[in-house]
Chains A and B, each alone.
Chain A
Amino acid sequence: MAKVSLTIDNQKVVVEEGTTIFQAAKGVGIEIPHLCHREDMLPTSACRLCVVEVDGARNLVASCSYPVSNNMVVRTNTERVIKARRLIIELLLSDHPFDCMTCEKSGACDLERYAYELGVPTTRFQGEKHAYPLDETNPFFVRDYNKCILCGRCVAACNEVQFVEAINFAHRGFNTKVATPYDRSLLDSTCLFCGQCVAACPVGALTEKSRRFQGREWEFRKVSTVCPYCGVGCNIELDIKDNRIVRVNAPANGVVNQGRLCVKGKFGLDFVHSPERLTTPLIRDGERGDGKFKEASWEEALDLVAKRLSELKNRSGADSLAILSSAKCTTEENYLMQKLARAVLGTNNIDHCARLCHASTVTALSAAFGSAAMTNSIAELRDADCIFIIGSNTSENHPIIALEIMEGVRHGKTKLIVADPRKVRMVDYAHLWLRQKPGTDVALINGMLHIIIAENLYDADFVQARTEGFEELREAIAEYPPSIVSQITGIPVDNLYQAARLYAQSPKACILFAMGITQHTTGTDNILALANLAMLTGHLGRESTGVSPLRGQNNVQGACDVGALPDLFPGYESVTDEVSQGKFEQAWGVSLPDTPGLTVVEMIHKAVAGQVKGMYIMGEDPVLSDPNNTLVVRALKNLDFLVVQDIFLNETAKFADVVLPGVSFAEKDGTFTNTERRIQRVNKSIKPIGDSKPDWQIISELASRLGYTMTYNHPAEIMEEIASLTPIYGGVHYDRLNQQGLQWPCRNRDDPGTKYLHKGRFTRGLGKFHATPYREPFELPDEDYPFILTTGRILYHWHGGTLSRHSPGLAEIRPEAEVEINPQDAEMLCCSDGDLVELASRRGEILVKVKVTDKSPQGVAFMTFHFKEAPVNRLTIDALDPVAKIPEFKVCSVKINPATSQE
């Protein structure tokens, strides 16, 4: 790009053509006052405060939007400029309350700041003033229209940054205000309460409710850390006062989310201060499952746990014990937990919720590519020519990744294909929507492969040079011509052709998938088929391509990486591999079990059978999150000993013998690894609540009591041990984990990390095609159970609700469960919004309110598993994928009947 040379305040400046005066000045350290402009938004030149003098120009120009030109002479601070700015401030003050002494924004208010800097104590202009009532209708923030200066930042935040489009300027002249359609409450608009508008507001017109009267801006201590909700791993900054999180911000330079958050990250972290937090160890006092406990000291509780676990081990063997680790805890804690299982207790019976979300990803992508993680990075998405989303409700479950996709779509760069039985929000942004019948994904993908080969659209060079097994694939997919695939999936033949051509012919195309693909008895095949699709078209090993599983939990990637899995050591080394076993035996100084342990659902089955007798569950709530939960409850009741470590007394903890109070993300140090393999620092922000303890300390103390000394002073020491034993984490040290984090593989101190995988070579050498014959879901609708039930999540809640339902705002905005059904089904069942129905499968029944929506296709009911009052996992089936052992949460059969009157 051409360079332009100009003078700003007598300084010579050389910048690229197209730069604005504002940017050029900023580059040499001259900050120009501004109210409406923000660098993450397009300039609007609305406030005029950024005016400057340009030699030869008749009027002052708005520097935020005025491009530089050669030999331009700019003056930012002349008498004339200052006079103009003072006038603007005076005009703004003419309809602005002078209540700065009680205004929450004081100290961070741009209007206050510029009035001070320009010396404008009051206004000469007296006239009509607005007296709008305070809008306190939503649970998260307050809108005070009287303080609004109509800069338009909130409108741009809503429309350009978050693509929500809930608000805009309405009315005209003096009565102009920022409003939703028909001036209604945000609750009755499309608002998703991300709080981007609040973060953008330069004055006190938008204020978080949580920070009202909690302290002045200058009193807050700021700590950078990572959001604990989903796998995106957004960078956040906590404002702390008196050991309390007062507000959550997203720094504009955050590497993952660049200043953006969703409602959970912005307003949902107040669970940390819930009065229901566990503050002291508890020991069961009464029958198991009564939920009656007495308080205990740490000594008492840990001694009891150590004693009972040792007894069980001595009496029934190490494999009578099983551990559920936690994808909500840090990588260091997961490492210690698997070390506790293997080196201290002597069993490989350790697993965690990854089994329930991406176990099939791990098995399939390991087989096809040799490593199982998101191949590419989040920031690459906006440059893709085509994105194929299958089985991911991205805007609700990975909201910030959805924004990256919308960014490309909105700017005309990306063509989006969405395959989903439900009409999820991403469909609104899609060029092509494939509405497959639930559980027919393999057929759909095989159909696309068939077309791509038939039309010769595949990348023959890539297939030749980098893959094996192509001939077998070609033979296998011959059975999937579009006509047959259309019959199986319900997708019109034309759309199959369009999808196959669009994906294959785009220069850079990527595949995103999540639980809609993984949680099937054909989960492994679903993902093998996707891997086939990417390899066939050569959409791998380059930027903005790849096969990207969107991981669910904040640290499910990290928990897998360090071996909280029954068959794998840290770094995905097999427990049956003698070399690996030798390495870990030497490092840990003990001999290790060499047979793979039990997976999550197998642990439950073995507990029911009495073979697993003791369990240690950290930061998980299988009663709500595992399939067929009647069986889970039976299993827990049948245990000899159960210890639960959590921050709340969740549904599972009610069956515990001992409950140990761990701490939240805010109260400990450590790392989380996000979905794009980025290892990021979690920084301790506040002191532990009550007598609770960081989970890594609890595990260490328990290990020592069990006769294996663990003496870590800080999680940094645990990471050193991980780095020494795990090649993909080999270069990860706390002193290297700055704002950017590190993306694994990162093999040594000089390794900058890896942005995308499989460049030039797959981890396993050649990529391997697998034939994936279509199989039907395990349980299909019949006369007795005519509906398909599919499960998932919503934007406002998180998994079993342990965290999000303890956030007052989130609990208020979505207080109860709903089952979504199609309008035609609702008519047939004679029910409407809010009616109570009984939803029953062969495994149990629940009562739940109906929500009628065309999101659900006919014959399909959708429900979330967030609500213990209507636990949908009482209905789901524990049929497993034969390879990955992941249960089929996404398809089972149910019937729907009006609720009987006794309820």
Chain B
Amino acid sequence: MVISNDIDLSLLDPVLEKYQFEEGALIPILQETQQVYGYLPEEVLVHLSREVRVPLSQIYAVVTFYSQFYLTPRGRNIIRVCRGTACYVRGGRSVLRTVEGFLGIREGNTTADYKFTLETVACLGACAMGPVVVINGKYFGKMTSTRAKIVLKAI
């Protein structure tokens, strides 16, 4: 767990204010908190727990249950490689290997300079375009190892 000392808890105030009278709003609060900080730092969750009067153990339960929440800082660029069946049979696996090699990290990790986070997904529903790689929300279809390198170099 990375704990940095320069986390500004006051950035959370607008989120808390917006949901202050709403019961059961933990998930939207966590989503918006993650938008503010890019991930869910521990001191933010401790603060949140006190403010919304939800035990930290319960917040941790929710955060670790949903894959959308992150407890560690993520890179500035999010790369998601599809591992679905259609992409796989068209060479998705070698695309993933290439991206891992290029970034020097395994899937699920973030580069030391926080420039890239690499994730895999089970299916993006764009099988006709496979193999698919999504970079910062933009879809790249018919991916090959060579094209992957070109796209990544351009970032």
Contacts and interface: CB of A to CB of B under 8 A. Distances in A.
A159 B61 CA distance: 13
A171 B57 contact: no
Interface in A177-195: 179-182, 189-190
Contacts of A179: 57, 60
Nearest to B59: A181
B1 interface: yes
B65 A181 contact: no
Contacts of B64: 170-172
B154 to A, nearest CB: 36
Interface in B53-80: 55-61, 64-65
Interface string A150-187: 00000000010000011111111000000111100000
Contacts of A172: 64-65
Contact of B55 (A159, A170, A171, A182): A159
B27 to A, nearest CB: 15
Interface in B64-112: 64-65
B32 interface: no
B42 interface: yes
B61 A169 contact: yes
A182 B3 CA distance: 13
B61 A170 contact: yes
Interface in B105-124: none
A167 B58 CA distance: 8
A168 B58 contact: yes
Nearest to B66: A172
Contacts of A180: 57, 60
A168 B55 contact: yes
A182 B42 contact: yes
A165 B58 contact: yes
Among B56, B57, B64, the one with the most A-chain Cβ atoms within 10 Å of its Cβ is B57
Interface in B1-56: 1, 42, 45, 55-56
Contacts of A159: 55, 57-58
A368 to B, nearest CB: 38
B65 A166 contact: no
A167 B64 CA distance: 13
Contacts of B55: 159, 165, 168, 190
How many B residues touch the partner, as a band? 10 to 19
Contact of B1 (A171, A182, A189): A182
B28 to A, nearest CB: 20
Main secondary structure on B side of the interface with A:
helix
Contacts of A169: 61, 65
A189 B65 contact: no
B57 A167 contact: yes
A527 B59 CA distance: 43
A11 B59 CA distance: 46
A170 B60 CA distance: 7
B65 A165 contact: no
A181 B55 CA distance: 9
Contacts of A170: 60-61, 64-65
Contacts of A165: 55-58
Contacts of B58: 159, 165, 168
A168 B42 contact: no
A235 B65 CA distance: 39
Nearest to B55: A165
Interface string A180-224: 111000000110000000000000000000000000000000000
B147 to A, nearest CB: 34
A180 B64 CA distance: 12
B108 to A, nearest CB: 14
Contacts of B56: 165, 181, 190
Nearest to B56: A181
A412 to B, nearest CB: 12
B111 to A, nearest CB: 24
Contact of A168 (B1, B45, B60): B60
A181 to B, nearest CB: 4
A630 B144 CA distance: 85
Contacts of A182: 1, 42, 60
Contacts of A167: 57
A181 B40 CA distance: 13
Nearest to B46: A181
A438 to B, nearest CB: 26
Nearest to B63: A170
A826 B51 CA distance: 26
Contacts of B65: 169-172
Nearest to B60: A181
A222 B59 CA distance: 40
B24 to A, nearest CB: 16
A159 B54 CA distance: 11
A189 B49 CA distance: 14
Contacts of B61: 168-170
A171 B60 CA distance: 9
A80 to B, nearest CB: 33
A169 B59 CA distance: 10
A190 B60 CA distance: 14
Nearest to A166: B57
A187 to B, nearest CB: 15
A196 to B, nearest CB: 15
A166 B58 CA distance: 9
B45 to A, nearest CB: 8
A287 B45 CA distance: 61
Contacts of B59: 181
B62 to A, nearest CB: 9
B11 to A, nearest CB: 21
Interface string A10-31: 0000000000000000000000
A698 to B, nearest CB: 50
Among B45, B58, B59, B64, the one with the most A-chain Cβ atoms within 10 Å of its Cβ is B64
B55 to A, nearest CB: 4
Interface of B: 1, 42, 45, 55-61, 64-65
30 contacts: A159-B55, A159-B57, A159-B58, A165-B56, A165-B57, A165-B58, A166-B57, A168-B55, A168-B57, A168-B58, A168-B60, A168-B61, A170-B60, A170-B61, A170-B65, A171-B64, A171-B65, A172-B64, A172-B65, A179-B60, A180-B57, A180-B60, A181-B57, A181-B59, A181-B60, A182-B1, A182-B42, A182-B60, A190-B55, A190-B56
Interface of A: 159, 165-172, 179-182, 189-190
Return the 8 tightest CB-CB contacts between A and B, nearest first.
Answer: A165-B55, A168-B61, A181-B60, A168-B57, A181-B56, A170-B64, A171-B64, A172-B65
Given A168-B61, A180-B57, A182-B1, 12 more contacts: A165-B57, A168-B57, A168-B58, A168-B60, A170-B61, A170-B65, A171-B65, A172-B64, A179-B60, A180-B60, A181-B57, A189-B57
